Copies of this chain bind each other. A is one copy, B any other.
């Protein structure tokens, strides 16, 4: 088993109704790798940072079993930077600043040792053309390819996105993105249209309303834990993706039933991420905390209709 993730290691500056941060470490792949590290002892990353990215944060990742051989460090350039402000509902946000920096010319280099030995591939949120390059530069097709993307790429690179989707097994997007990608308002119809594009599994993330998994004629509706406070939603989707692929990679089981469990683990980890700014909460979880959070999801969704018929 080997898990390869791509996505940004970057800086974020975040403002929420609860407060604001200076530049802090974020980026899709940071969250993915951290989340996955609770499931697998080793995973790999292909990404790029500038010389400004804190070396101690890289060695923290390495201590958690993240192999950074595929990380390009461009000492004379700056890391990707995003700044955003969340509205009161925490579901919508304004982007204040986007500085591509090292991403502008990112040409993903896959270490030789990764090329014929990538079983699970997590294509975190990046330009679809880069996601496709990574796929093309692997010698063997991975057993499972999961792709996360966002409305931004649908706005400016829909054709590229549709190209890479042909090679994807599992797509994770939110409900608005599912509508945009498919042109259908009903999520059931959207799921049909999107699965014609390539992915046989579609996960629709609905934030505080949980998630839906579509496959064949089956649907799974995952609950979301009602939270008294969502402090900072940044990285929740990436954490979800990392927990999802981490569980799949650990169990080597792509069945629908096991994907449900992977969704619950991803949701549980994401419910921690939103409790504090950035990666703070995700960095120091105990196994007991995670299992007890999973138990909350089980209780939350459980009902028994065995004896209840009309």
Contact = CB atoms under 8 A, between A and B. Distances in A.
A305 B264 contact: yes
Interface string A216-229: 00111111101111
A265 interface: yes
Contacts of A191: 226
Contacts of A230: 186
A188 B226 contact: yes
A291 B309 contact: yes
A156 interface: no
Interface stretch (A64-72, A135-143, A293-301): A293-301
Contact of A189 (B221, B228, B297): B228
A224 B206 CA distance: 13
A89 B185 contact: yes
Interface of A: 38-39, 88-89, 185-189, 191, 206, 208-210, 212, 218-224, 226-230, 247, 251, 257, 260-261, 263-265, 287, 290-291, 294-295, 297-305, 308-310
Given A38-B310, A219-B300, 19 more contacts: A186-B230, A188-B228, A206-B209, A209-B210, A220-B300, A221-B224, A221-B226, A247-B308, A251-B308, A257-B304, A261-B303, A261-B304, A263-B303, A264-B303, A265-B308, A291-B310, A294-B305, A298-B303, A301-B301
Contacts of A212: 226
A72 to B, nearest CB: 31
Contacts of A186: 227-230
Nearest to A262: B308
Contact of A187 (B39, B226, B295): B226
B228 A261 contact: no
Contacts of A299: 218
Nearest to A223: B221
A297 to B, nearest CB: 8
A224 B263 CA distance: 17
B210 A221 contact: yes
Contacts of A304: 257, 260-261
Given A210-B209, A229-B186, A301 B38 contact: no
Contacts of A300: 219-221
Contacts of A297: 305
A310 B298 contact: no
Contacts of A218: 299
B209 A219 contact: no
A183 to B, nearest CB: 13
Nearest to A189: B228
Contacts of A287: 309-310
A291 B89 CA distance: 37
A261 B223 contact: no
Contacts of A222: 303
